Amino acid sequence: MSTVVLLTLTGLGLAALYFLIASGLSLVFGLAGVLNFAHGLFLSIGAYVTWSVVGSWGLLPAILLGVAAAAATGALVELVLIRPLYTRHTEQVLVTVGLSLAGVALLQSVWGADARVFPRPAWASEVIGIAGAQVPADRFLLIGAAVVVLLGLLAFLRYTRYGLIIRAGVENRAMVSALGIDVRNAFTLVFAIGGALAGLAGILGGMYFSAISPGQGASLLIFAFIVVVIGGLGSVAGAAGAAVAVGLLQQFVNYYGTAGAGDVSVVVLLAAVLLLRPTGLAGKVATA
Amino acid sequence: MTTQPSVPPAAPAAILPEAPASGSVPSRATPSPSAAGQLRRRLTPLLLLVIAASLPWSTLDIPGLFDGPLNSPGTLQLLALCLVFGGLALGYDLLFGRSGLLSFGHALYIAAGAYGVDILVSHYGWPLWRAALVTVLAAALLALLLGSVALRTSGIAFSMVTLAFAQVGHIVISRDPGGLTGGEEGLPLASAGLPGFLVGVSNTVNLYWLALAFLTVVVLVVHTVDRSPLGRTLTGLRDDERRIAVLGLSPYRLKLLVFVLAGGLAGLGGVTYALVVGGASPHVASSELTLSLIVMAVLGGAGTRWGAVFGGILYAYLDQRLARLGGTLPGPFAEPLFVLGTLFILAVYFVPGGLTGLGARLEPLRRALRPRRD
C-alpha cells in the first residue's frame, strides 16, 4: 500500500512537470499552429537564471526572475523569429528546431555542459509520512504548483478578455481576425505564458532532480510533446488529464516492469490514442 | 505559307520537325534543354564521382580545410563521414523534401542499421556481408511495421508518433538490454569479425571508398525514384494529398512504400556509419541526429536533386571541423551546434530554397549584370 501511495505521488509530481511544459506548448500550437521545439530552451533559461542569482538574491526573488526571463525569451522568440514567418508553418517549426540546437549550445558555452546542483527550500528536502509511505515533500511542491497553474490558467482563459480571444483563436483563428482583433498580440501573449510556465517547470524540475543540465529541457520536451498530442492540441484541460495519465503510467510500469518499460508504455499509449482518436482526448483535429 | 511574320522562331513545332511522328500527342510543351546542357547535367555527377574516387591518390595539402594531406587517414576518415551524412541526408529527403513527410524519427532506422550490424558481427560473429544484408532488411521491416502505424496519422501527429517511436529506440539502446548494446558507452565494432581490408588505420582509404559507394547507391536510388512515375506521385502527395486520393491512388500505401524505402536506405547508412566510425553509440539513435538531418536537407535545399547531399556533406564537415577548432574560437562560437543552428536559422530566412537553389535565385541578378550581346 505504502509503495502504491509513494508511486502515485511521485507519478503525480512528474505529471505536474509534464503539465507545466505541455500546457504552454499546447496553447502555442492551438493558437499559432507552431510546434515549438525551442520550448525546452525556455525551460533551461528559467532554471539557469534562477540558479545563477539564487546565491545573492534568495530563493523566491530568484524564482521570479527566472520565470520572468523565460517569459521574456518566449515573447522575444515570437516577435523576432516566429512572426515574420506567419502562416508558413513548416518554416516556423524549422526555425524553432534551429533555435533549440543553437540555444542549448549557447547555454553550454555560458554555464558549461556539466550538470549543476540546484538549490531547493529546506522544507522540500523533508519527508512526509502518508498512509505509511515516506513521501519526499518536493512532490507536493510540484503538484501544488501545477494545480495552482491549472486553476489560474483556466480562470484566465475563461474570465478575461485575452483568455476569450485565445480560446476563440484556438477555435477559429480566421474568424477572430475577421472580427477586427489583432490575433498576433495574442500569439506573443501565449508565447510569453508558455515561456513562463516552461521556466517554472525548469526551476521545479531542477528542485525535483536536484540538478540542472543544458540538455534537460530536450529530454523532458519529448514527453511533453506526447502529453500534448494525447491531451489534444490546444486544450489545457486535456493536457492536464494526459499529463496525469502519462506520469502515473510511467512511474508504475517503471517500478513493476523492467527499467525503461514505463517510457515504452507511454509511447504505446500515444499510438493507441492516436489510432483510436486522432484528435486526442480533447481538442481540435491533430492534422496540419 | 508566306504570311507567318508573327510566329516566334523558337516555337517547339518549328524547331523540331524531325521529332518522331509516331505519338500524335506532343510529348512536352516546352522546348527541351539544349543537348549540351543535358550532357553537362549527366556528366558532371559522373566527373565528380571519378574525382571523389581518385581523391585518395592525391597528396594535396589544403592547410585551412584539412589537417593533413588528402590521403592521410585523418582526412579520409573525415571525408568518409561527410559522404555518409550526404547519403543519409538524401535518404531522409526522400521523405521530407520529396514526399512532405516530416518524420522526426529517422534516426531510429540509422541506429537499427548501425547497432544491427555491430551486434551481429561483434556478439554473434557473423560474417560482415551476411550481417549487413540481414540488418538492412531488418531496418526496412522495422520501417514497415512502425510506418504502418505512424502513417495512419498525418501532419504534426505523424511527426510526434515517429519522434516517440525513435525515443523508445533511444531509451532501449541506452538501457543496454541483455548487455547487447553497451548502453551509454556504445558498442565498438569487433575488428576480428571484419574482413582484413576494412581493419586498421592504413585501410581507412577502403572505408572512404565504402562511404562513397553508399552515397552513390543512395543517389542512384533516389534519382531513379525521382524520374519514375512514383517520384511524381510523391511530389503530388507532398503538394496535395487529397488530389492523389481523388485520382484513385492510395496515399497510405504510397507513403508506406517510400517510408520503407527510406528506412532501408537509412539502415544501409547505419551499417556504413558503424564501419566508418568503428562502432555504434546511443547518439545515432537520438532525436538530435534526426534534427540535424532536417537541418542538412533544408540547408542544402530540400526536394532538389543535389541539395540534401550537399547540405549533408557541408554540415558534417563543419560539425567535425568546428569541434576541432572549438578551443580557439571565442565564446559560444566554440560550440559547433551554436554556429550550425544559427546558420540554419539564417538559411531558413534568407535562403528559402537552400544553398543549391542560390544559383537559380541569383540568376536574374547575373543576367542584369551581364553585358547585352545584341
What is the full per-residue pLDDT of chain A (288 aa) written as tens digits? 788 888 888 889 889 999 999 988 888 887 777 888 888 899 999 999 988 888 788 888 888 999 999 999 999 998 988 888 877 777 888 888 889 888 888 888 888 778 888 777 777 677 777 777 777 778 888 899 999 999 998 898 889 888 888 888 878 888 888 888 888 888 889 899 999 999 999 998 888 888 888 877 777 888 888 888 888 777 888 889 999 999 999 888 888 877 678 888 888 888 888 777 766 666 554 333
Q: Are B157 and A264 a contacting pair at CB < 8 A?
A: no
Q: Is B331 on the interface with A (CB under 8 A)?
A: yes
User: Would the CB atoms of B345 and A81 count as touching at under 8 Å?
Assistant: yes
- Grid cell 511521485 is found at A10
B328 by Cβ neighbours in 10 Å (0-12 / 13-18 / 19+) ranks as exposed
Cα B115 from chain centroid?
A: 20
pLDDT tens sequence across A2-60: 888 888 888 898 899 999 999 888 888 877 778 888 888 999 999 999 888 887 888 88
Is the CB of residue B161 less than 8 Å away from at least one CB of chain A?
yes
Chain A 27-46, residues with CB within 8 Å of chain B CB atoms: 29, 35, 37
β-pairing, A133-136 vs B279-280, is: unpaired
Q: How far is Cα B261 from Cα A116, in angstroms, rounded to an integer?
A: 44
> Would an 8 Å CB–CB cutoff place B323 in contact with chain A?
no
CA–CA separation, B59 and A171 (whole Å): 65
ipTM of the complex: 0.80
Instruction: Tell me how far apart the alpha carbons of residues B263 and B33 are, in angstroms, rounded to a whole number.
Output: 35
Q: List chain B pLDDT tens, one digit each, 374 residues.
A: 344 444 344 333 333 333 343 433 344 444 455 777 777 777 888 888 888 888 888 777 777 777 777 778 888 888 999 999 999 999 999 999 888 888 989 999 999 999 999 999 988 888 888 999 999 999 999 999 999 888 887 777 788 888 888 888 888 888 887 778 887 888 888 877 787 777 777 788 888 999 999 999 999 999 999 999 888 888 888 888 888 888 888 889 999 999 999 999 999 999 999 999 988 888 888 888 998 899 899 888 888 888 899 999 999 998 888 877 766 767 677 778 888 888 888 888 888 777 877 777 777 777 887 776 65
Of A106, A108, A222, the CB nearest to B167: A222
Query: What are the φ/ψ torsions at residue B208 (nearest 5 degrees)?
Result: -60, -45
For every residue of B104-115, which 3-state class applies, written as one string?
CCCHHHHHHHHH
Contact B152 A274 (CB under 8 A): yes
Domain ranges of chain B: 74-286
> Is A128 in a helix, a strand, or coil?
strand
Interface A:B, Cβ pairs < 8 A: 127
Q: At what angle do helices B204-227 and B35-54 cross, to 10 degrees?
A: 160
Strands (E), B257-303: 279-280
Å between A40 CA and nearest CA of chain B: 13
